[in-house]
Amino acid sequence: MPVPYGSGIMHKENQFEEMSDNFDKFSKLRQDYDQGSLSKKSVLPNPFDQFEKWYEEASRSTIKEPNAMVLSTSGGNGRASSRMVLLKGFDEKGFLFYSNYRSRKGQEMAVNPYVSALFFWDVLEQQIRIEGTVERLSAEESDAYFKLRPRKSQIGAVASAQSEVLASREQLEEKFDQIAADYPEEQQEIPRPEHWGGYRISPYYFEFWQGRRSRLHDRICFNQRPDGIWSVARLSP
Ligand SMILES: Cc1cc2nc3c(=O)[nH]c(=O)nc-3n(C[C@H](O)[C@H](O)[C@H](O)COP(=O)(O)O)c2cc1C
């Protein structure tokens, strides 16, 4: 049973000793950044083109999953929540990902379409922040993507009531096996559950961040004006 923080069970002196050890450990973690630079002149005028340029570079690097991004949402109570999702495509209209519409994030996005996405590519010392509004893809678009998924991922999507409490791991595995048994033939198509599908984030804000020496990082941001034109600015690091 974990001891609740602040319960007074731990001896105070030990507690401070442990905390200062902790500070020491973290304060020694220092990294200077010198891989690249970014300016209002060097950045491409359209943020989608700049995203594509950096994404291509990230894809050619050693990063295992450059398409992994942190998606932050908040529902009606205004409390933020974040988790990783995989970017599955992008074009001039937005950034696509797939999930369960009934999940925690799905419920939050149904109430509040304002979301943010964050990419962090540590070997390139870069982050990209995107803010925008989210909408569901059409059933046809979600079907088309679902069909492309490996069969076991399709079964997993059907089997998992994402974000709901599970009694046990076994319960999930039994559900998986039962669905696999319902569709024994490889060529038998597994239908996409109605509550599973795609989203598109339509951004109104981008920030491209490049780590620099002495914490003097480059931050170039794009804000979309009401006439659709992107205005560019440099932010203090
Ligand atoms: C690298 C990585 C990629 C992931 N990609 C997805 C994804 O594309 N869609 C998804 O629903 N969950 C994905 N997950 C799982 C989510 O992070 C999360 O656990 C799940 O969606 C439930 O989140 P929620 O309860 O806040 O809705 C991924 C996790 C990791 C670590």
The one-character DSSP state at 26 is H
pLDDT at 4: 41
Q: Which domains does the chain have, with CATH numbers?
A: 35-146+192-234 (2.30.110.10)
Atom of ligand 1 nearest to the CA of 83: 17
pLDDT at 25: 84
Nearest-CA residue for atom 24 of ligand 1 = 104
pLDDT at 13: 58
Left, alpha or beta for 78 (phi > 0: left; psi -120 to 50: alpha)? Answer: left
pLDDT at 221: 98
Kindly name the residue from 30, 169, 215, 225 that is annotated as catalytic.
215
**Alpha carbons 134 and 142: distance in angstroms, whole number:** 15
Ligand 1 close to Cβ of residue 103 (< 6 A): yes
**E strand or H helix at 152, and its extent?**
helix 151-159
pLDDT at 12: 55
pLDDT at 16: 65
pTM of the model: 0.91
8 Å CB contact between 119 and 71: no
User: What is 94-105 written as a DSSP string?
Assistant: EEEEEEETTSHH
pLDDT at 163: 97
Nearest-CA residue for atom 10 of ligand 1 = 99
Reading the chain (237 residues) residue by residue, the pLDDT tens digits are 343 444 444 555 566 677 777 888 888 888 889 899 999 999 999 999 999 999 999 999 999 999 999 999 999 999 999 999 999 999 889 999 999 999 999 999 999 999 999 999 999 999 999 999 999 999 999 999 999 999 999 999 999 999 999 999 999 999 999 999 999 988 899 999 999 999 999 999 999 999 999 999 999 999 999 999 999 999 999
